[in-house]
Amino acid sequence: MRSARTIWLWVLAAPAVQAAGFGPPEGTLPLHPLTVAVPAGALSPLRSASLFREESSTGAAPTYYLGAGVAGSRLQIPDSPGATAWQVIPTADCVRLEPVPPALLHTPSVQAVLVQQNPLPMECAAAFEGSCTSRDDKLRITTTFEGRRRAARVGGGFFGTEGTIDTTFYTGVRTLSIEHLPSRLVLRMQERLNNSNGYSAPQTAIRYLPELQRLLLLGASEAQGMPMAHCVALPPG
């Protein structure tokens, strides 16, 4: 399973080269590595994680949590085997992830962040190319492509026998840019495609926590096939 979601057109009659994934982020935004120690046999928040929040009774910033395989209090279903939960604790540099019991995310005061509440709209970093702005107008996420496109008709379905579909193969470089609009500081990641119709879509691997002025990259990039974790300390403003 890839760290960042990979979009696929199931066209096994004409095999596509697997998407390479985005490389390590670089740029002018303050970037810090994020250490995540996952116990053996447990689910990693760098593979797939849901965002939860708990409102403060004193008017302070909310407390954020990550859950991997955790259903939460809203869904009356059991957690997945190996489920893990992590509290996002702000630090002077950025944040640290502190393991907590998954049962904590089932308490009524802790709620999953729904699509409509997410500080980043659902389309952010989801398409092959495109641009979006955070709901508070402070972050812009843009994906661009430079290279060649080759249109083709290929066999559809899991075995390539269910008719034909139109697809496009790409050779070139996709660049995902995250810009902090008040400061104009930018972070960039690149994905190199070689005759591939698959691509990475790190939509849910990018978590914006506006009250903490933090941005988490949880498997949005990788090095030597392994997912990476970073925290961005956003400037004031």
Look at residue 204 and give its three-state secondary structure: helix
Cβ density class 184-198: b for 16+ within 10 Å, e for less: ebebbbbbebeebbb
pLDDT, tens digit, for every residue of 53-74? 999 988 899 999 999 999 988 7
Domain assignment present for residue 89? The answer is no
pLDDT at 165 (0 to 100): 81
Give the domain range for residue 182. 5-50+119-233
Q: Is the pLDDT of residue 161 over 90?
A: no
Is 147's pLDDT higher than 60?
A: yes
Within-domain flag for 44: yes
Report phi then psi at 163, rounded to 5. Answer: 75, -170
Does residue 88 lie within any of the structural domains?
A: no
Written as six digits, the tokens of 65 are 């949590």
Nearest to 192 by CA among 230, 225, 224, 147: 147
| Cα–Cα distance, 32 to 24 (Å, whole number) | 12
Between 28-32, 35-39, 126-130, the lowest mean confidence (pLDDT) is in 35-39
CA distance 6 to 17: 12
The whole-number average pLDDT for the span 133-156 is 93
Report the pLDDT averaged over residues 24-43: 94
Check residue 12 and give its pLDDT.
Answer: 34
**Is the pLDDT reported for residue 14 higher than 60?**
no
**C-alpha pair distances (Å), 126 with each of 20, 67, 72, 84, 101:** 16, 21, 24, 25, 31
User: How much is the mean pLDDT over the chain?
Assistant: 89
Instruction: Check if the beta carbon of residue 54 is closer than 8 Å to that of residue 89.
Output: no
Rounded Cα distance, 169 and 167, in Å: 7
**Least confident stretch, 19-28, 129-138, 176-185:** 19-28
Residue appearing with tokens 């470089």: 173
What is the average per-residue pLDDT within 65-86? 92
Percent of the chain having pLDDT more than 90? 74
Residue 96 pLDDT greater than 70, yes or no: yes
Hey, what are 151's tokens?
């249109």
Q: Residue range 141-157: average pLDDT?
A: 89
8-state DSSP, 1:
-
Number of domains in the chain: 1
Quick one: which of 70, 223, 237 has its CA closest to 138? Answer: 237
CA–CA distance, 198 with 214 (Å, rounded to integer): 30
* Cα–Cα distance measured from residue 4 to residue 189, given in angstroms and rounded to the nearest whole number: 12
Q: Confirm whether 108 is domain-assigned.
A: no
Q: Does 11 reside within a domain?
A: yes
pLDDT of residue 138: 98
Asked whether residue 70 is domain-assigned, the answer is no
Cβ-Cβ contacts under 8 Å for 63 (sequence gap 6 or more): 53, 54, 56, 87, 88
Say yes or no to pLDDT of 180 above 70: yes
Write down the pLDDT at residue 18.
53
Q: What pLDDT is recorded for position 120? A: 96
3 pLDDT more than 70: no
Q: What is the mean pLDDT of residues 75-87?
A: 92
Least confident range from 51-55, 217-221, 222-226: namely: 222-226
Q: Is the pLDDT of residue 7 over 90?
A: no
Percent of the chain with pLDDT over 70: 89
In a domain, 23, yes or no: yes
Q: Within its chain, how far is the Cα of 231 from the centroid?
A: 12
Write the CB contacts of 38 (distance below 8 Å, at least 6 apart in sequence): 44, 45, 84
Q: How many CB atoms lie within 10 A of CB 128?
A: 16
Q: Decide if 25 is inside a domain.
A: yes
